[in-house]
Chain A
Amino acid sequence: MAIELKDVENIAHLARLQLSPAEQQEAQNSINNILHMIDQMQAIDTAGVEPLAHAYEASQRLREDVVTEHDQRDVLLALAPNADRGLFLVPKVLE
């Protein structure tokens, strides 16, 4: 399996990445190398092997439902490029 340049453009758009033609070419090559490796892996017989959801052979620890965080709004808003009246401000998003 291999991907076309237009697939690279689409993926880049979905990831909001702006790639130059040279970078697109490079990305296409890298991705195709990975896909080639995956093709090789696909050839292995995995019948009877349970799909792996995570590399660790462990299960998720659960947290108790208690509030441990306190209000740090002023500190956190100060980190943002723009904020007003307790809100983070971003360029107008229109539906």
Chain B
Amino acid sequence: MEWETVIGLEVHVQLATASKLFSGTSTRFGAEPNTQANVFDLALPGTLPVLNGKAVEMAVKFGLAVGAQINRKSVFDRKNYFYPDLPKGYQTSQLDHPTVGKGTLTITMEDGSTRTIGITRAHMEEDAGKSLHEEFPTDTGIDLNRAGTPLLEIVSEPELRNAKEAVAYLKKLHSLIVYLGISDGDMSQGSMRCDANVSVRPKGESKFGTRAEIKNINSFRFVEKAINIEVARQIDILEDGGKIVQETRLYDAVKNETRSMRSKEVANDYRYFPEPDLLPVVIDEAFIARIKATLPELPDIKSQRFQSQYGLSPYDANVLAADLHVAAYFEEVAAGCGDAKLSANWVMGDLQAYLNKAEIDISKSPIASTALANLVSRIVDNTISSKIAKAVFEAMLNGEGSADEIIAAKGLKQVTDTGAIEKVVDAVIAANPKQVEQYRAGGEKVFAFFVGQVMKESRGKANPVQVNEILLDKLTAK
């Protein structure tokens, strides 16, 4: 039987506020345990929540960026459950009246095709603390620094049809939250966490199959693997005549398997009710207008502009525009050297290859955008060839100085003096009479041999365009 996969994602994004959602405690990452946990975060009696306005602004900003309905009135609710890292005994969240309603996100697949995925809602809620089970033999250690950190939970419609689409959706979401400046998006620090609801159904069936929820998959790579392995598991069960149990499963990256979380066998009953300590949040037109005015140029719009302004291909424009910092870097190089296409090639090619390998973010690139612009300028003005430029780039990475300094120090300046090139060409022709015969007998492939020889003789410095012209001239003229 042919099966269709149905995936919905719940993504928790940590909002980049300085203080917590309901208290004035710092949210800085990496502090000593419990140094950022105060009376409210510990739920000491008599403390009351005061909502962080910045978190509301960030939620609205996200809503506007995905064309979502912004609810003029939203309500906080208590989600009740007991766990030691949740001191209040409930998580303050939004159930029936979230701040952000229905919106859409357009994803781009590797082949360039696009799909628009529905966003069901996005609501504000607070994070829990951290339980450390390994540190003590008979106890669990509790660190409440993270308790109360503001999260935006973004829920997609069950419209994703395979793991690759799920990854594309996550990458787009990641790109967007970084553009908007509402989160640092650092997945290794848990700033973006993903739960996936996965089910399968016979192709053509309109009813959904029973789903399993895979918890806490924290990298793009694991999302794809976890979904694929879960889909395979469900199809196996169904094809053997079995039934899928609705449950929460945990992805184990080491074993590459999902397994049932036994503790959730009993259906959760969170007994939500409206939070009596918080009033409804009212968002007026002026508030929305003010946030709208702060929206930056978003990835899709930027990609369009890169195509029209710089003449880049849709693929190149999308790749460059996807990351805010890469886009800015590229524009600086393009402005500095005047050749956008060549700049795009260098940023996406040699530079990105180096940064990926060294695992360095472009904002910390050892070669600044102005320095790369200098290098590309020297190709544009024919001072060096593209091939020599790669050597100069390597030298720049080695800290040997600027492009200009390296070209001068190593004597790499391209030879554009026709007379000088002709001399080399003459010598090469004289030294290879056999190949000259072959060429003249119609062996055009030998031409590349001559170009290679001339470039070798000139140690790569001869201008390749001129070499071609002169060679052609001399080989065809008898």
Contact = CB atoms under 8 A, between A and B. Distances in A.
Interface stretch (B19-27, B175-183, B220-228, B347-355): B19-27
A49 interface: no
B276 A54 contact: yes
Interface stretch (A20-28, A29-37, A38-46, A87-95): A87-95
A90 B282 contact: no
B418 interface: no
A63 B38 contact: no
Interface string A59-95: 1111111111101110011000010111111111111
A21 B143 CA distance: 38
A33 to B, nearest CB: 19
Interface string B54-72: 1110000000000000000
A67 B139 CA distance: 32
Contact of B143 (A66, A87, A95): A87
B144 to A, nearest CB: 7
- Consensus secondary structure, chain A interface: loop
Given A53-B97, A86-B32, A63 B24 contact: yes
B17 A65 contact: yes
Chain B interface size band reads 35 or more
Contact of B51 (A63, A73, A90, A92): A63
B18 A54 contact: no
B279 A56 contact: yes
A69 B25 contact: yes
Contact of B39 (A76, A90, A92): A76
Contacts of B50: 61, 63
B399 interface: no
B281 interface: yes
Contacts of B319: none
A14 interface: yes
Given A65-B54, A76-B34, A76-B42, A90 B278 contact: no
Given A63-B53, A73-B37, A77-B34, A89 B276 contact: no
Contact of B280 (A60, A65, A67, A72): A60
B131 interface: yes
Contact of B84 (A16, A64, A68, A90): A90
Contact of B52 (A16, A63, A88): A63
Given A65-B18, A76-B37, A91 B23 contact: no
A17 B277 CA distance: 23
A35 to B, nearest CB: 15
A56 B17 CA distance: 28
B17 A59 contact: no
B35 interface: yes
Nearest to A62: B53
B140 A92 contact: yes
26 contacts: A14-B80, A14-B271, A53-B73, A53-B280, A54-B75, A59-B282, A60-B279, A60-B280, A62-B56, A63-B50, A63-B53, A64-B53, A66-B19, A67-B19, A71-B36, A73-B34, A84-B139, A85-B33, A86-B143, A87-B33, A88-B84, A89-B136, A89-B141, A90-B139, A92-B139, A95-B263
Interface of B: 17-19, 23-26, 32-39, 42, 50-56, 73, 75, 80, 82-84, 97, 131-133, 135-136, 138-144, 261-263, 269, 271, 274, 276, 278-282
Interface of A: 10, 14, 16, 53-54, 56, 58-69, 71-73, 76-77, 82, 84-95
Q: Which 4 A-B pairs have the closest CB atoms?
A: A68-B24, A62-B53, A87-B141, A65-B54
